[in-house]
Amino acid sequence: MVRSFLKDTDFTPLEAAEIFELAARYKATRSAGIIDVLNSQSWGVLFYKKSTRTRLSFEAGLYELGGHPMVMYADDLQISRGETIEDTARIMGRFLHGLVIRTFGQDIVEKFAKYSGIPVVNALTDLLHPCQSYTDMFTMTEFFSQGKANPESIKGKKFVFYGDTACNMAYSLALAGAMFGVEVVLCGPEEFRPAPILDELFSEVNLTPTWSFTSDPIEAARGANVLYTDVWVSMGKEEEKAQRIKTMSPYQVNMDLFKVADRGAYFMHCLPAHAGEEVSQEVLDSPRSIVFDQAENRLHVQKAIVSYLVKKNRQLGK
C-alpha cells in the first residue's frame, strides 16, 4: 500500500521529528534553489474549498522540489458533473505521481488514496488539517529552541486552542500535540466541545491523549505558553455566523488572557484572521504574535512531508 498523509497520526512521532529536521534544512537552504527530489513528477493540487496559504505553499513547494504542480478546482472537473470519485481517482493515478486535496469529508481523501494508487496529502478536510498542525508544532519548536527546531523543546508546553473545539484544527492539534508531548487545552463554549470522534481518532492509534477541555478562558490561559485561535465561522458554516459570533465572543484571544499566560507566551493562528472577532487587533499586531512565521512554515513543512512520502514509497518499491 502506497503511503499517504491523511491523518496527523499517519507518521509516527519519530517520523514526524525527521520531517521537522528536513523542514528546518529546507528552510535554511531555500535560497540555494531547487532541490530535485521529485525529478519532474507531476503532482495534482485539488481544491473543493477556497485557500490562500495552502494554494501558494503547495504550488511553490512542489516546484521547489523539482516537481510540476497542477492546481485544479473541483468545479472545473467532470466530478462536478457527476463523475465518481473512484473513477476520477483512477484517472488521476494514471497521469499524476501524487495528489494534494482540500475537500469536505475525510472519506473523500481516503477514497482518492484508495483508488488512485498514488500518495495523497490531506490539505484540509472537515475532520482534520494535518499539514497545518505539523506546521504549528514545527513553528513552536523553532520558537522554544532558539531556531533549532528541536522537538524536545515543546514537550510539556501548555498550548491553548480557543473557539470551536469541535473543528478540524482542534482535532488535528490534539493529535499532533499528543505526538510531541504538548499539553493541549481546548477551550470554548460547552456546545462546541469536542465530539466523540476525537476519542475515536485516538483509539485507532497507540497514542496517549494529552488534551483536555474547559469552558473557562482565563483558567485555560493561566501559565500557558501558546494561545491559539482559528476563525469562529469555518468554511461551510456561514449560515451560523451571527449565532457563532455571539456564543464565542467570551473566547476572544486578547490582552486579558496574555496577562495570566506565561510571560513568554506566543500567539498563533492558522489564518485567515478576523481581527475583532476571535483575536483582538492588539494581540494580532503585538510582538507575541508569530502568525506570519507560522504561515511561512507551511511551505517548508509541506516540502518535507512530500519528500518524506516520496522517499518512503521508493523504499517500499512504490
Binding site for ligand CP (CB under 6 A): 51-54, 124, 132, 270-271
Q: State the cell numbers at 119.
A: 500518495
In the bound state with ligand CP, the residue whose beta carbon lies nearer, of 115 and 299, is 299
- Per residue in 164-180, is it b (16+ CB within 10 Å) or e — as a string? bbbbbbbbbbbbbbbbb
Of the residues 252, 298, 300, 302, which is catalytic?
Answer: 298
187, 230, 269, 294: the active-site residue: 230
Q: Is 256 a catalytic residue?
A: no
Q: What angle do CA 72, 173, 235 make, to 5 degrees?
A: 40
* Catalytic residue from among 129, 244, 269, 300: 129
Q: How far is the CB of 12 from ligand CP (least distance, A)?
A: 24
Of 131, 167, 187, 270, the active-site residue reads 270
Q: Is 102 a catalytic residue?
A: yes
Distance of alpha carbon 190 from alpha carbon 248, whole angstroms: 10
Please pick, among 41, 106, 132, 252, the residue that the annotation labels catalytic: 132
Catalytic residue among 3, 53, 102, 300: 102
In 3-state terms, what secondary structure has residue 78? Answer: helix
In whole angstroms, what is the distance from residue 223 CA to residue 188 CA? 18
In the block, cell 523542514 appears at 23
To the query of whether residue 25 is one of the catalytic residues in this protein, the response is no
Report how far residue 133's alpha carbon sits from residue 290's, in angstroms, rounded to the nearest whole number: 15
Residue with cell 494535518: 130
Non-local (6+) Cβ contacts of 278 within 8 A are 162, 163, 229, 230, 231, 232, 248, 251, 252, 253, 269
Q: Min. distance of Cβ 79 from ligand CP in angstroms?
A: 20
Cis peptide before 272 (omega within 30 of 0): yes
Closest contact distance (angstroms) between CB of 205 and ligand CP is 23
CB of 54 to ligand CP, least distance (A): 3
Q: Count of alpha carbons within 13 Å of 314, Cβ hemisphere only?
A: 9
Which C-beta is closer to ligand CP: that of 115 or that of 123? 123
Please say which residue, 23 or 202, places its beta carbon nearer to ligand CP: 23
Distance in Å, CB of 169 to ligand CP, minimum? 8
- Please state the closest distance from residue 252 (CB atom) to ligand CP, in A: 19
Based on CB atoms, which residue is closest to ligand CP, 52 or 243? 52
Task: Indicate the residue among 18 and 296 with the shorter CB distance to ligand CP.
Answer: 296
129 is catalytic: yes
| For ligand CP, the closer CB: 48 or 115 | 48
Whether residue 270 lies in the annotated active site: yes
d(CA 165, CA 11): 23
Indicate the helix (H) or strand (E) that contains 86: helix 85-95
3-state helix, strand, coil split of the chain in percent (to 5) is: 50, 15, 35
- Residues involved in catalysis: 102, 129, 132, 230, 270, 298
